[in-house]
Amino acid sequence: MKLQIAIPSKGRISDPSIEILEQAGLKLKDTTNRKLMANTHNPNIDVMFTRASDIPTFIEEGIVDMGITGVDLIHEKDADVEEILDLDFGQTKLVLAVPESSNIKSIKDFNENMRIATEFPNLTRKYLKENGVEGVEIVELAGSTEIAPLIGIADGITDLTSTGTTLKTNHLKIIDTILESTIKLIANKDSLSEKYELVEAVTTSIQGVINASNKKLILMNVHKEDLNQVKDVLPGMSGPTISEILSKKDMFAVQAVVDEDKVFKLVNELKKVGARDILVVPIERVIN
């Protein structure tokens, strides 16, 4: 029984999707041509490259078992899928924006003579309905939405943004946020039971990568008389691990997992209280 995972063939989340799979131990055998299917080093798991917007539908219909795509696309397709993990990258938001010179200050200022350009017609219609706005024409575009007001085909747009830089460059201002989005690992609901072991293995491995993000393993040797002071300094995830070094009397090996941003300060504090032979090591995965 094989498990198929769909990831975007191109775009901003394609490379990070490959990276997190490979960090989880699912190294792809060939990614040079981005052909439709690629084998991983696990003979039971394959990867499909496809459009990010198609992934929610493919998973809902059982064409593939799992996939990586944005919350915005899941909601745009209204896909009935299981959201398993937030992958902690690709944070963005779907916003309503209008020209900086516009008198429009909120969605309530739109009327039936106006148009909104978007790549997200379903989310935009839902947003208009929730705000009681009727008669606004939705202009569907496949890209470059931000130029629509400039060339006169729309009074405003709904578009994804992470920093707002592109909108500002095109002299647009954000007047509302429709949806906060991030990247998710999702699964077909039938596959959750029919291929439970493989789905669980993929989920556990990817969760381990997320857990290890921005973590480092610190290892050191400590004399017995300095041990308590070292223990006081070390934060650790669940306290340091301490083991006696049999070849050296009254010497202990100590290790702990710590946040990367604390390493610089921590190493200097550990040295002051007697730690020696300090090693800082990257962590690939943390499985709880």
Domain ranges of the chain: 3-89+182-211, 92-181, 214-282
Query: Per the structure block, which two tokens stand in for 139?
Result: 């202009």
pLDDT of residue 236: 62
**Tens digit of each residue's pLDDT (9 = 90 or more) over 13-22:** 999 999 999 9
pLDDT of residue 287: 86
Q: Identify the band that residue 246 occupies on the pLDDT scale cut at 50, 70 and 90.
A: confident
pLDDT of residue 34: 60
Half-sphere exposure in the Cβ direction for 116 (13 Å, CA): 28
pLDDT of residue 20: 96
pLDDT of residue 252: 93
Question: Exposed (0-12), middle (13-18) or buried (19+): which is 158, by Cβ within 10 Å?
Answer: buried
Among residues 48, 85, 91, 78, the alpha carbon closest in space to that of 185 is found at 85
- Identify whether the C-beta of residue 120 lies closer than 8 Å to the C-beta of residue 179: no
Report the phi/psi class of residue 250: left, alpha or beta, with left for phi > 0 and alpha for psi in -120 to 50: left
- Domains 3-89+182-211 and 214-282 fall in the same CATH topology: no
Question: How many beta carbons lie within 10 A of that of residue 51, not counting itself?
Answer: 14
Among residues 37, 41, 43, 32, the alpha carbon closest in space to that of 58 is found at 37
Measured CA distances, 195 to 27, 42, 190 (Å): 20, 15, 8
Rounded to whole angstroms, the Cα distance separating 209 from 286 reads 7
Superfamily of domain 92-181 in CATH is Periplasmic binding protein-like II (3.40.190.10)
Average pLDDT score over residue span 198-217: 95
- Identify whether the C-beta of residue 279 lies closer than 8 Å to the C-beta of residue 272: no
Rounded to whole angstroms, the Cα distance separating 262 from 256 reads 12
Q: Is the pTM of this model over 0.95?
A: no
DSSP β-bridge partners for residue 5: 47, 66
Give the largest CA-CA distance in the chain. 85
DSSP β-bridge partners for residue 47: 5, 38
Q: What is the CATH number of domain 3-89+182-211?
A: 3.40.190.10
Domain 214-282, CATH class in plain words: alpha beta
- Return the amino acid letter for 154: A
DSSP the chain: --EEEEEESSSTTHHHHHHHHHHTT--BS--SS--SEEEBSSTTEEEEEE-GGGHHHHHHTTSSSEEEEEHHHHHHHT---EEEEE-S---EEEEEEEETT----SGGG--TT-EEEES-HHHHHHHHHHTT--SPEEEE-SS-GGGTTTTTS-SEEEEEESSSHHHHHTTEEEEEEEEEE-EEEEE-HHHHHHTHHHHHHHHHHHHHHHHHTTEEEEEEEEEGGGHHHHHHH---SSS-EEEE-TTSTTEEEEEEEEEGGGHHHHHHHHHHTT-EEEEEEE-S----
**Tens digit of each residue's pLDDT (9 = 90 or more) over 123-167:** 999 999 999 999 999 999 988 899 999 999 999 999 999 988 999
